Structure 1
Amino acid sequence: MSPIRSAGRCLVLTIAFLAAAQVSAQRYFFEQVGVDRGLPASKVYAVLQDGYGTVWIGTEAGLAAYDGRQVRSIGTQDGAAPGGARSLLLDRQGRLWVGHLDGGITVHDGDRFQAYTVGEGMPSAVTGLAEDVNGTIWLATAGSGAWRIPPMEDLPTTLAATRVGASELRDKLLGACALKDGRSCFVEDGGTILVTRDGTGFEPLDMPGIPQVFRFTALFQHSSGDLWVGTIGGGAFRLPANGAPTVRYDIPAGLGSETVFCFGEDARQRTWVGTLDGGLSCIDGDEVRTFDPRNGLHTSFVRCIGRDREGNLLIGTNDNGLDIFKGERFVSFGEPDGLADPRVWAVLEDRQGSTWFGTDNGIVVLGRKGSVDRTITVQDGQLTSNFIRSLKEDQNGRIWIGTDNGGLLQYDPRSGRAVPQTELSFTLAEQKVTALELGQPGELWVGGLNGVRRYIPGSGTVPTIYTV
C-alpha cells in the first residue's frame, strides 16, 4: 500500500518523504481510500486486517475488501447478509464475523460467506462483536440487548444464539469488549458499562477514579492489561492494570476533543484515541499528539481504529472513508506549506541535507529544518523555464536543472546563480530535457527527444549525440 502514486515520472498532489528532523508545521501523510476508489460509502464503522493481508472495511452501505490496490464490495450476491456492516471481528480460527445494520450476521471462513439471522430475525443493528477466552462470541445490538453464540468448529446452517441479561442490560447497547480475564463487557446507551458476573448475570464494571457524571462511550483493553474508557465531555481515562491511580486525558492534556468514540493500539504499544470532533490523538506516556485536517488527517470525526501487519494504522472516518497512517516517517508537503505547484517531477536531496523539488512552477528548496529555504523561478530571473523535469547534484555541489522547454541550466547554491547551458540546449529538440544523469567526473549525460548527449561542461566541444 504505497503512499505515493505516480503517473509516469510525475508525482501528483502530495509528496511523501523521509523526515530527518522534526518539521515545523508538519503535515503528515494519510493515504485515503474513499468512494472514488470503490468504497461503498464514506462512513466507516469498523476496520481490520485478516491473516491473508486483506483489509476488511465495514461501511454504512455494506462490507468491502481492500488488498492494497483495489476495493471490492461484498454483498448478498456473494452470500453475505444484507445491510451496512456495523461491526467486525476476527475470531481465533481466523474467521471474519460481520454484524449488520439490519440485524444479520455474516461469517467468512476464507472460502465462502455465510449469512445468518439472530433469534427470530432480530431487526436491531449489531453494534459490537467480541470473542472471549473460551471462544464464545458476544453480540451487542442497538435494540435487542446482548446475545451469546457458543464456540463452533465449522459453519453451521443456523446460529445457536441466545439472548442474555434481558433483565439487567438495556436493549440499546453501543458496543462489546472481551477482557483478558475472561469477562465480557457491554457499553450501554445510557452511558454505563456492565460486565459478566461468574456466568450468572451482569454487574457494573469497577472503574475507580472516573466521575459518575460522565457518560461512557467506549471501552478498550490495551495489551498491557490497562483499561481505557471513553466518555462524552470528559475525555479518556486509563485504569492501570497494576492498580495505580486512574489517569485522565482531556483537552488541557492535549487530547483533540473530550468526546471519545474509539481506541486503538499501534505496534509500539502507543494508545490512539478517536474523537467526535477533534480528530485522532496519540498517547505515548506523558506525550499527547493530535492529528486532524490541519496536519493531514482527512476528518475530525474518527469512528474506529485498526492496525495492519505492517504496523500501519487503519482509521475509519465518519465522512471520508478509510485513512491509512504509515507513521511519522511520512510528511505531506503541498501548496499550503510553500510548494510552488502540486505537480512535482523531480526530487533531490543535496549533500547539505536540503531537499529540492522540481515542479511546473519552478524549484522549491526545503531546508534541513523543514521550512522553505528558497524558490528559483523564471519570475526572479534565474530560470529559462519554470517546467522542471530533472535535478542532479555533481561532484562539486552544483545543481544541474533539466527543463521541459528551456534546455539545461547549472545552478551554484553558493552564489545563487543559474547559468543556461546554451551550447547543449540548442542541440535539443524543443529544448526539452527528458533525462539527466552524471557520468565520470566532469561528464553529464542528457536525454532529449532526438537522442542522448554526452556533455563535458566548459570543454568547448560540441556535445556528442547518440541516437538509435
Structure 2
Amino acid sequence: MKYIHIYALMLISVFYASCGQKQNEPHKDNINYDIKDTVTTYGPNRMVRNVKQDRNGTILIAASFAGVFRYDGKSFTNLASKIGSRRYWNVLEDRHGNLWVATSDSGVYHYNPKRESFQHFTTREGLVNNGVLSIYEDRAGNIWFGTGGGASRYDGKSFQNFTTKDGLSNNGIHTILEDRTGKLWLGTGGDACFYDGKAFTVFRNKDGKAFYNVWSIIEDRKGNIWFGASIIEDKKGDTLVISNSLWRYDGNSFTKVTKRSASAIIEDKKGNIWTTGPVNPNGVGDWTLSRYDQKSLYNKNPAVTEIMSLNKMLCGILEANDGSIWFGSMNGVYRYDGKTITDFRRKEYQQ
C-alpha cells in the first residue's frame, strides 16, 4: 500500500478547462504550410508518450512539444513541423490511412497524407475538451477521443460527447478499448468502466471496491481484459491509502496478477505481456520495461523479466511487425530487438 500523495509522483497531472459544444467546419489556424517537414537521422529527446505503427510498418512517435515523428527505418520525419510546438500525446492511423494527432493542450489534428493537409478540431467544432490523451477507432469506423473533460465520438461529420452528466463515472479519460463483444472500455482518473451503447458500468473487485487511476487497458488473445490500476484501501483524513497492481478480468472475476504498477500494457505475438511502470511501490525511483512469460501468466507468481530500468518515467509500448519492442520515455524513444536496446537520441543526449 501507499499514499496517494506519493503515488502522484509517478504520473503527470494534466488540468483542463471544459468548454461548450459547437459543430462547424474544422479550422486551419496555427498551420504554416510554408514550413517543410524536418527530417533527421536521430529521434526526439523529449517525452515520448505513445508509439504506434501504420499499415506500411512505419513507426509513429508522439513526442511532447517536439512533434509527431515518422520513422521509416532510416530517418525521422517530423509531420508536425507545420503545426509547431504542442503537447503531443498520441497518434493513430485510421482505416482510411489518415492520421489523428492528439494534444493535451490544443485538441486534435487530422492529417491527410495524400493531400499533405491538416484539419484542426477543438471544442469549437464540438470536441468535448481540448485536452486529448487517447484516440481509438471502433469497428464501425467512429473515432473516439478520451479527454480531460469526457469522451467524444466522431462519425466523420459531428461529435457526440459523453460526460458524467450522461452517466460516465469520471471525466478524465486516459485510455479507450473496444473488446470482442463490442463493449467499450474506458480507463479514467477515477475507475475502470465500460459502455454497452446504452449505459456506463463501473467495474469493482470481489470486495466491491472500484478501481482507481487506470492508464492502460488491453484485451488479450483469450479475451481477457488486462489493466493497471489502484484500489483505494483506506482514507486517513484527506489522504487516500491505495495499492497498485496489474489486473486481469476473465469475464467473471478479477485476478491481481502482481503488485507491480503498469502504466502501459501490450500483448506480443507470442502471448507475453509487456508493461512499463515503477519498480518501487511508492512510485519513486527507477521505472522498468518488464515482460511476463506467457507460459506462467496463470501461475500464482508469473515469471517476469526486467528488460530495461531507468530513473525516469517510461510510457507507451509497441510491438512492431518485426517483433521488436518500442517504448517511450521521459527523454526519448527506445527499441529492443530481443538482444540490444537502441537509444535513438543524439549521442550528446544519451546516458
Give TM-score scaled by structure 2 length: 0.69
Task: Identify unmatched segments of 5+ residues in structure 2.
Answer: 1-39, 231-242, 279-285, 297-301, 342-351
> In 2, distance between residues paired with 1:299 and 1:72?
28
Shift of 1:214: 4.9
2:334 pairs, out of 316, 323, 328, with 323
- Assess, with a 3 A threshold, how the Cα gap between structure 1 residues 49 and 248 changes in structure 2: closer, same or farther: same
Distance 2:45 2:131 in 1: 17
CA distance in 2, matches of 1:119, 1:278: 35
- Residue 120 of structure 1 and its aligned partner are, at CA, apart by 1.6
Specify the alignment match of 2:6 in structure 1.
none
Q: Which moved more, 1:270-279 or 1:165-174?
A: 165-174
**Does residue 1:125 correspond to 2:131, yes or no?**
yes
Deviation of 1:89 (Å):
2.2
Letter in 1 for 2:173: L
Which residue of the other structure, out of 291, 315, 321, is the alignment partner of 2:306? 291
Whether 1:272 and 2:274 are equivalent positions in the alignment is yes
CA distance 1:300–1:270, shift in 2 (3 Å)? farther
Q: Distance in 1 between matches of 2:248 and 2:331?
A: 29
| Unpaired stretches in structure 1, ≥5 consecutive residues | 1-35, 153-158, 252-257, 333-468
* RMSD (Å), alpha carbons: 2.7
1:90 and 2:93 matched: yes
How far apart are residue 262 of structure 1 and its match? 0.9
Paired letter, 1:290 = T
Amino acid at match of 1:303: C
Question: Which of these residues, 269, 282, 294, is aligned with residue 291 of structure 2?
Answer: 282
Tell me the residue number matched to 1:164. Answer: 162
CA distance in 2, matches of 1:75, 1:331: 30
1:59 aligns with 2:59: no
Q: What does residue 362 of structure 1 align with?
A: none
CA distance in 2, matches of 1:132, 1:179: 9
Tell me the residue number matched to 1:145.
150
Matches within 5 A, 1:21-40: 38-40=42-44
Kept in 1: contact 2:229–2:261 (CA 8 A): yes
- Native 8 Å contact 1:278 1:292 kept in 2: no
The answer to whether the Cα contact below 8 Å between 2:87 and 2:104 also exists between their aligned partners in 1 is yes
Partner of 1:50: 54
C-alpha spacing 1:196/1:82, structure 2 compared with 1 (3 Å): farther
How far did residue 118 of structure 1 move?
Answer: 3.0
User: Does the Cα contact within 8 Å between 2:277 and 2:314 map onto a contact in 1?
Assistant: yes
Question: Relative contact order, CA 8 A, sep 6+: which one is greater?
Answer: 2
Residues 272, 300 of structure 1: CA spacing in aligned structure 2 closer, same or farther, 3 A cutoff? farther
Q: Does 1:106 align with 2:109?
A: yes
Question: 2: CA distance between counterparts of 1:209 and 1:225?
Answer: 20
Equivalent residue number for residue 209 of structure 2: 212
The superposition leaves residues 240-298 of structure 1 with CA deviations (integer Å, 9 ceiling, x where unpaired) of 35x5x5332225xxxxxx322010121212111111344122112324323255xxx55
Higher Rg: 1
Aligned-residue identity in percent: 20
SS in structure 2 opposite 1:94?
Answer: coil
CA contact (8 A) 1:280 1:292 kept: yes
For the structure 1 residues 60 and 41, does the alpha-carbon distance in structure 2 shift closer, same or farther, using more than 3 Å as the test?
farther
